[in-house]
Structure 1
Amino acid sequence: MNRLNTLLSLLSLSARRSITFDRGFEFNRWRDLRTGMGPKAWFCDPQAPWQKGSVENLKKRARRYLPRDTAIAALSDHAMAEISAQLNATPRRCLGYRTPAEAFAEELRQLDRS
């Protein structure tokens, strides 16, 4: 959660209005989101895979870099940043073949205009 707090604090308040978690163990400290950070936390319902389709898609993509037996908490910030950069630089059909980084940057520009 410390890493998440750090990353979220880099975004404008309008870009961190809410955050949705799946029900994985890694989010058991969701209450540790920094007070005043802004986001409301939401959770997918159990046995409701349609609510977390993008999460499942990302997990499949991340497994290319992080096999199931990887101790994710032991990875360095640099290693996580490298993996994140790779994932965010891969064009996606669902984004009109833009990368997630491009789509996110466009969304931030739209938020800044409003």
Structure 2
Amino acid sequence: SFRNGLVQFANALADHNAKAGAPVRLQWKLKKMSWDGTRQEHVLEYDTPSGPSTLRSKSVVLTAPTHVTCNLIRPLCEDAADALEEIFYPRVAAVTVEYPRSAFR
């Protein structure tokens, strides 16, 4: 776990991208990944607010839940996708209860 919560990882990644001059694209949904063995690059197909777009990258960081990630990587590595499918996420609920100060003795 991160000292300042999960947002700490996202902030560190955003800072790294900013220093590298890499753009951050919001509201882009990764639909498909493939590997171009000739160019040694990932081919990433997105749905974006302005329509479909394809990018290429030497590396990819996925922070999606495993049920999303396993579907994206299955065409690249069946064994890794199968392993991700085995990860169990317990159901979590946050409950807040408030009482007026007068309710306490």
TM-score, with structure 2 as normaliser: 0.21
Say which structure, 1 or 2, has more relative contact order (CA 8 Å, 6+ apart): 1
Looking at secondary structure, tell me which structure has more strand per residue: 2
More helix by share: 1
- After TM superposition, the score normalised by the length of structure 1 is 0.20
